[in-house]
């Protein structure tokens, strides 16, 4: 069996961190299994779906490195849905209902007020022809519900949650089609999963009850079930489901300079028993992905943890991976020197400006003026090679007796304008003889 997974976003907005995690996990499982990862744009909501959102979703997936092996749009598949719907009508698996949204809402409130679950009472199945004729005379068009089989308990072995059991009598017959003829999520998703050969449906735990009803739709359509895995939802760093998580997407992550690898490294293992580690390459994440590692406890997403992970990954990146994002003139030696001090790749520009100048060095303390003048004179006579910093500081130490902070800090301030930064043994050759002498003379 070829493993086939799918990511099925609705192009009614941008991807947020929860969507990204679902896409990543589906992609990882397909790649680990040597299977296929499909992108399906669930754009049945023609009013809210926008081409620009569809393009943004695809651009986000590409940036994350989640390339797909096939693509479908639900808006191209209405004829298939119509065909399957007519078959379900003929077999008695769907039925029309004429209640308005207001009437249904009132019934739900009454049931809740009585302490009862707000399950649809199937009143539509008891309508007599005269009642239906009266509704039609009012101009009402029916919406359509899938008729759950109350004699068949629903169950499956979830790859994350284990054994799942539902009593269909405690579930409402789901609305599958609106009165205006438009489709809701439930039935088209099942029809597509069957037609596309999806073998594994991996999504959030908020879909568990949907799965229960969709299992009977698979059966009604004569199809075998895919495997299901429902993972715990993300929570914010404060320990509660955060509305902010719904606004955190690729645009935000790119804006603050995060690497796709950092996002993948965190989200691939968030909610699992595996340690979160910095990986600049996807392969270890693919190799280690396993549903058995995931539990039912909420998965805590922390932006501070993501930032730390990003910093560690930046420190692993070779020059070839970032060369096109670095300032003009910054070569591999400069990257190797500056990289340990970066939080994001974009920060390299700030350190490169310190190399190329001009800098705004602080006025040296009175006791450091003669020391810096001596440094200038020694550097004038010193070979400017890879060991120039060590040669300079050893000579100054021998001449002045200074050591530690008193030796190194005045030099760093004069040469970079900073109290901290990359290793000066690497920075000084990048600054160059003439510029270094000019900075020491100006101090």
Report the binding-site residues for ATP.
243
Contact 266, 20 (CB under 8 A): no
- Alpha helix positions (H), 319-386: 319-322, 332-338, 348-356, 366-380
Dihedral over alpha carbons 146, 149, 153, 156 (to 10 degrees): -40
Beta strands in 265-374 (DSSP E): 299-300
Closest by CA to 281, choosing from 100, 56, 65, is 65
Contact 349, 325 (CB under 8 A): no
Residues annotated in a binding site: 243
Helix or strand (DSSP H, E) at 433? helix 433-442
User: Does residue 358 have a cis bond before it (omega within 30 degrees)?
Assistant: yes
What's the half-sphere exposure (Cβ side, CA atoms, 13 Å) at 188?
Answer: 26
Which positions ≥6 away from 138 have C-beta within 8 Å?
none
C-alpha span between 23 and 39 (Å, rounded): 9
Which positions ≥6 away from 432 have C-beta within 8 Å?
384
Contact 337, 426 (CB under 8 A): yes
């Amino acid at each position: 069996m070829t493993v086939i997974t799918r990511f099925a976003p609705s192009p009614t907005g941008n991807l947020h961190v929860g969507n990204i995690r679902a896409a990543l996990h589906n992609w990882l499982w397909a790649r680990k299994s040597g299977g296929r990862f499909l992108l399906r744009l669930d754009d049945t909501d023609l009013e809210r779906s926008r081409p620009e959102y569809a393009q943004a979703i695809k651009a986000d997936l590409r940036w994350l490195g989640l390339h797909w092996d096939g693509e479908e749009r639900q808006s191209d598949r209405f004829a298939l849905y119509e065909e399957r719907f007519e078959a379900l009508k003929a077999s008695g698996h769907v039925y029309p209902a004429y209640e308005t949204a207001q009437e249904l809402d009132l019934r739900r409130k009454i049931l809740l007020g009585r302490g009862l679950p707000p399950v649809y009472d199937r009143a539509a199945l008891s309508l007599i022809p005269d009642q239906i004729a009266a509704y039609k005379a009012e101009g009402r068009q029916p919406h359509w519900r899938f008729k759950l089989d109350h004699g068949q308990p629903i169950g499956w072995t979830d790859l994350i949650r284990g054994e799942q059991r539902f009593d269909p009598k405690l579930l409402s017959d789901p609305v599958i089609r609106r009165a205006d003829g438009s489709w809701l999520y439930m039935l088209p998703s099942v029809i597509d999963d069957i037609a596309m050969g999806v073998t594994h449906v991996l999504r959030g735990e908020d879909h568990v009850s949907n799965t229960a009803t969709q299992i009977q739709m698979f059966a009604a359509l004569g199809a075998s079930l895919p495997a299901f895995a429902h993972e715990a939802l993300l929570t914010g760093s404060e320990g509660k489901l955060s509305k902010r998580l719904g606004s955190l997407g690729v645009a935000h992550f790119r804006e603050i300079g995060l690497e796709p690898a950092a996002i993948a490294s965190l989200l691939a293992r968030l909610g699992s028993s595996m340690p979160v580690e910095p990986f600049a390459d996807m392969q270890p994440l693919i190799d280690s992905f396993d549903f058995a590692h995931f539990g039912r406890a909420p998965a805590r997403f922390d932006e501070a943890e993501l930032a730390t992970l990003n910093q560690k990954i930046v420190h692993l990146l070779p020059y070839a991976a970032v060369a096109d994002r670095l300032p003009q003139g910054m070569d591999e030696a400069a990257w190797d020197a500056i990289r340990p001090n970066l939080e994001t790749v974009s920060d390299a520009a700030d350190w490169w400006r310190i190399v190329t100048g001009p800098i705004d060095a602080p006025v040296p303390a009175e006791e450091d003026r003669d020391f810096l003048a001596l440094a200038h004179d020694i550097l004038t006579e010193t070979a400017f090679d890879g060991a120039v910093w060590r040669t300079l500081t050893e000579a100054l130490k021998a001449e002045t007796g200074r050591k530690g902070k008193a030796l190194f800090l005045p030099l760093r301030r004069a040469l970079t304008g900073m109290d901290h930064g990359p290793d000066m043994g690497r920075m000084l050759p990048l600054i160059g003889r003439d510029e270094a002498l000019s900075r020491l003379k100006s101090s």
